[in-house]
Amino acid sequence: MNSTTHSRFELFAEAFVRKYWETVKSGDFSMPPDEPVEETIEELLSKISHQMEPGSASVHDAHLFAFRMTNTHGDWWLFTFRDKGQAWELVGAFARSDTQTPHDLLDSVYSRYFEPFLRHVERAANDAISI
């Protein structure tokens, strides 16, 4: 991966994390248990970190990039994106589960809740970095 693409993805990942938690805070996407978020955005973000996932932009597919978002409680989310040139497209989303197998947030069980939410965050993050 070249340094320009890496930098673009890092900017996008930062925007995605912020937009993710801004959207959670907004309550615009109702998901069980549908409890209001009382922390401020800055309080939420202070409990979150993210890092590029090893193997992003591998030889297999140089257009795929991933990052893992982790909170202070040990929960994690793994997001994979395709480089579309002027924007990033979400192609995979997994979250830590109670079992060894993470939940696929875009599969038939979870997609009705997470797909609209994550597509909204994807668009908001792409818009944020294109300004």
- Give residue-wise pLDDT tens across range 13-60: 999 999 999 999 998 988 777 788 899 999 999 999 999 886 665 545
CA dihedral 78, 84, 85, 88 (to 10 degrees): -30
Q: Which two tokens stand for residue 87?
A: 């924007």
In this predicted structure, the answer to whether residue 61 has a pLDDT above a threshold of 70 is no
Q: Please give the Cα distance from 106 to 127 (Å, whole number).
A: 22
- Give residue-wise pLDDT tens across range 69-95: 999 988 899 999 999 988 999 999 999
Q: Please give the Cα distance from 122 to 18 (Å, whole number).
A: 11
* Residue 59: per-residue pLDDT: 45
In this predicted structure, the answer to whether residue 4 has a pLDDT above a threshold of 90 is no
